[in-house]
Amino acid sequence: MNKRELLSLLDHLEVKPSRRMGQNFLVDDNLRRAILRDFEPRRGERVLEIGPGTGELTEGLLAAGCMVTAVEMDRRLCGWLRRKFADNPSLRLVQGDACNLDYVSLLGVQDYRCLANLPYAITTPWIMRMLRLKNPPRSMDLLIQKELAERLVAAPSTKQYGGLTAALSLLYQTELRRRVPPEVFYPPPEVASACVRLRYAPLLEKPDDIEGTNYVFALIRCSFSQRRKQLAKLLAPTFVESAAAAAEALSRIGVSPSARAEELSPHDFLDLAKEISTKNSS
């Protein structure tokens, strides 16, 4: 669907793109085909699609034989999608906020992958929501803000590396696949976008241990709460009794007691969480 066709459809549906809902519609067929080609949809597999919009990517997934669960917040677009795919039993359409759905009930325990054109405002909370699932996607292909994409693939001790990067790396390997200019959207966003691939490759010993995973995430969040501050001073008294005890824990895992959060790799955070939790339970 090109821009002229999109404008005609939106006018027919009485839909005005909403900044609040982050509605920026793809109007570039070449990019749409590239996204589907990168995703490599397979017949019979289950796919969670976030933000189907007018259903162009949805159509490609269904044509490939996927069983698609599509989540769309806009009720008017949901109505259009129901009419458009009324004869296709392989689509389950859910109207709702992608950050507040019960994905356990929706997707169960079988494997699935995810394709998402995410509104910029919800990208971080939505990713963290998926990381906390007992059955997260086996892979996620995300179209997101370029600045955030660069954060997701950043290495330790760089400006872009942060808490989200470290938390994500505990469960996924991340690759930036392609950069996307604003003009392929209508309306064009004020910033560039990028496509990223997240492949499930957990570093956690028990990735389905939600309580243990949340403990590490909380440790990471606390560690990055004040980037300029030494990590040992941030961890007390929430995770250890004192800054001195935190410094000792860092030394035991081979990290300088004066280190800041950005200097620690995801493996370091795992080792630190294990060291602290073991010490606290002894």
Q: What is the pLDDT of residue 242?
A: 93
Instruction: Report which of residues 135 and 21 the model is more confident about.
Output: 135
Q: What is the pLDDT of residue 168?
A: 97
Instruction: Report which of residues 251 and 19 the model is more confident about.
Output: 251
Long-range contacts from 201-207, C-beta under 8 angstroms, 24+ separation = 201/171, 201/172, 201/173, 202/170, 202/171, 203/169, 203/170, 203/171, 203/266, 203/267, 203/270, 204/170, 204/171, 204/270, 207/171
**215, pLDDT greater than 90:** yes
Place of tokens 């492949």: 199
Average pLDDT estimate for 122-144: 96
Average pLDDT estimate for 42-63: 97
| 168 contacts 174 by C-beta, under 8 angstroms | yes
Q: What is the pLDDT of residue 83?
A: 95
**46, pLDDT greater than 70:** yes
Distances (CA, A) of 11 to 5, 19, 22, 110: 10, 17, 18, 39
* pLDDT tier at 54, thresholds 50, 70, 90: very high
- Residue from 114, 108, 169 nearest 143 by CA: 114
Burial per residue of 139-152, b for 16 or more beta-carbon CB atoms within 10 angstroms, e otherwise: bbbbbbbbebbbbb
Q: What is the pLDDT of residue 282?
A: 54
From 6-20, 36-50, 185-199, the region with the lowest mean pLDDT: 6-20
Q: How far apart (Å, rounded) are the C-alpha atoms in residues 41 and 114?
A: 10
Q: What is the pLDDT of residues 71-102, one digit of tens each?
A: 999 999 999 999 999 999 999 999 999 999 99
* pLDDT tier at 205, thresholds 50, 70, 90: confident
Burial per residue of 216-232, b for 16 or more beta-carbon CB atoms within 10 angstroms, e otherwise: bbebbebbbeeeeebbb
| 4 contacts 101 by C-beta, under 8 angstroms | no
Q: What is the pLDDT of residues 154-201, one digit of tens each?
A: 999 999 999 999 999 999 999 999 999 999 999 999 999 999 999 999
Domains in the chain: ranges and CATH: 3-200 (3.40.50.150), 210-281 (1.10.8.100)
Q: What is the pLDDT of residues 225-273, one digit of tens each?
A: 998 999 999 999 999 999 999 999 999 999 999 999 999 999 999 999 9
Q: Is 26 helix (H, G, I), strand (E, B) or coil?
A: strand
**60, pLDDT greater than 70:** yes
Q: What is the pLDDT of residue 207?
A: 83
